[in-house]
Structure 1
Amino acid sequence: MIAPTVPELVSKAATHPFLGAHIALGDREQGGVAVAQYHDVTLASAYEPIFDVGTHSFPQTLSASPESAERFGDELGMQALTLVGDRTSYDPFAQIDEDRELVELDRLSRALHAFNFFGAQRPGLLFLRVHERLLKSVKYDHGLHFSSVLIDFGLNPSRIVIELPEAAVAHKTFLGYLTKSYQHYGFKVAGNLPNAGQIMSVSDMARLDFIKMDAGAALRDSVVKHLVGYAGRLRIPLIFSHVVDEAQFDALQQFDVRFVQGPVFDAHPANSR
């Protein structure tokens, strides 16, 4: 089934009791995409690709043209990034003290990114980060609200990967509960490892769909080979994130790393949440 267009989704959102008060079609340089207004802050969407470099049998290099994304293999999906106003580094989430407002802003940003992703008929998976405080503010049935919103708008939760922060992954019991809850409501789940050793306990309490690890930290601690091998035994795809330069990309390829993402692949990186 073809997803509704961005204008169709925004039009439908006008009747939603919460989203209708915040989401609209952008104008000028943001024409044709959805934007959101929350208090005095304007939110927009950007997407960072996650590449499957294992789809190419020859060595990759960034030296010729980092802009040529198609050279790096297939796209597993996109990591949604929240742009604020004029794309400065101001983080609205860090300014919020009340849990109720944090929940509203987090839910608003996820709906916004879903509208712009599905409405543009993008392929692959949409990775959405969840704020750590939101996980603590919502006491149970994590994923129920967002799943119901997506289904109401004709969007497929199974193409969305809920990305859990390091703090959640560090607590095995909590990780197990969150993973099962989100998967119950149709989502896939990725967990960010707080450290390489944490991968040893990932399968004990939760069967994650993806594991993510900071590329710089893994290379600094010389654990890339260990992580790739253990993730292979678990049969859970391992994504190395925050690849910042060509040197890191080249170093990762020495260990048969398959999935990568980071600002090095973006010719026009944007400040994001």
Structure 2
Amino acid sequence: MIALTTSELVARAAEHPFLGEHLAMGTGAQQGHAVAHFGGVEIGSAYEPIFDISVHGLAQSLSSEPESAERFGDELGFQAITRRTDGERPEPFEPLDYATDDQQLVALDRMARAMHAINFFGAQQHGLLFLRVHERLLKSVKYDHGRHFSTVLISFGLNPARVVIELPPAAVAHKTFLGYLTKSYQLYGFKVAGNLPNAGQILSVSDMARLDFIKMDAGAALRDSMVKPLVGYAGRLRIPLIFSGVRDAAQFDLLQQYDVRFVQGPLFALHSDRAA
């Protein structure tokens, strides 16, 4: 199958009864990218890379060749970030701040996820697309989590298996709910990542919730001296562990001492032109 361009995917979205009202090709700085409009607000996509630093056996400091992102390793994928793009400079956007009720939150979330997928796949980007799901959204949708988005992607000719639904810490903290959500999203073709609310919560990640990825805040893990235990336990579970929120070279250098494989955070976005 020939991959569709961003503009072709936006044209397909125009046939969708809801997305067609809100998605369009951007202009100016957003030219060539899909944007979404609602209530006088324009939002766009940004992507933060997730690196596999074990690929080239890297053990180096950020002090060398700071302009080269390739030194981090290969990209596992990218986490989508929603930004408001109608001001003088793009800024983070949180749909919850603009949703007056749960129904509107669901609509805004679906619109943003479709936009991120169109921009990601339309650019023929490689790797996996990580998409965050808000806790309130999970409670607003009562059942069949993932069914609607999977149907939309398939109608666009896109593969849900390249999308990772990222669950918030509050969902991971409830073992039974986590198991239900994971199975539901996986049933509709997605991979699932869970953000640990704390390092000890990894003990609740079992066969009931066979996650595809586990994510842990790097700063919290380093502060509590839990990087080594987390890496060891995730290895026994055979679930890839991603340390997110890496902010500076000192954190990155410390993580490398514990055979950490996957890293993500503002530090790496600074060195990736695809994250802007």
Query: What's the TM-score, normalizing by structure 2?
Result: 0.95
| Other-structure match for 1:43 | 43
Q: Which residue of 2 is the match for residue 120 of structure 1?
A: 123
**Identity fraction in percent:** 72
Residue ranges of structure 2 left out of the alignment (5+ in a row): none
Residues 1:151 and 1:212: Cα distance change in structure 2 (over 3 Å): same
In the alignment, does 2:251 pair up with 1:265?
no
Give the Å deviation of 1:249.
0.2
Q: In the aligned structure 1, how far is the partner of 2:219 from the partner of 2:14?
A: 43
The alignment status of 1:148 with 2:148, answered yes or no, reads no
User: Greater shift after overlay, 52-61 or 171-180?
Assistant: 52-61
- Structural RMSD (CA): 1.6
Deviating more after overlay: 216-225 vs 200-209: 200-209
Is the Cα–Cα contact under 8 Å of residues 213 and 239 in structure 1 kept in the other structure?
Answer: yes
Distance 1:34 1:90, change over 3 A: closer
Looking at structure 2, the residues matched to 252 and 131 of structure 1 have their Cα atoms a distance apart, in angstroms, of 28
The aligned runs of 1:81-230 (5 Å cut-off) are 81-85=81-85, 86=87, 87-89=90-92, 91-230=94-233
Aligned pairs for 1:246-261 (under 5 A) are 246-261=249-264
Q: How far is the alpha carbon of 1:28 from its aligned partner?
A: 1.4
- Structure 2 CA distance for aligned equivalents of residues 33 and 15 of structure 1: 18
Asked if structure 1 preserves the Cα contact closer than 8 Å seen for 2:146 and 2:184, the reply is yes
Matched to 1:36, the amino acid is A
Letter of the aligned partner of 1:126 in structure 2? Answer: L
Aligned counterparts of 1:138 and 1:66: Cα–Cα separation in 2: 44
Unaligned 5+ runs, structure 1: none
What's the offset of the Cα at 1:12? 1.2
Cα deviations by residue, 1:71-95 (Å, 9 ceiling, x for unpaired)? 1111000000001133234534223
The offset of 1:268, in angstroms, is 7.2
- Alpha carbons of 1:201 and 1:92: their partners in 2 closer, same or farther (altered >3 Å)? closer
TM-superposition CA deviations, 1:103-129 (whole Å, max 9, x none) = 000000000000000000000000000
Query: Partners in 2 of 1:90 and 1:180 — Cα distance?
Result: 29
What's the CA shift string for 1:10-39, capped at 9, x where partnerless? Answer: 111111100000000011111111000021
Asked if 2 retains the 8 angstrom alpha-carbon contact of 1:242 and 1:262, the reply is yes
Q: Distance in 2 between matches of 1:184 and 1:89?
A: 31
How many pairs are equivalent? 271
**What CA distance in whole angstroms lies between the structure 2 residues aligned with 1:154 and 1:262?**
30
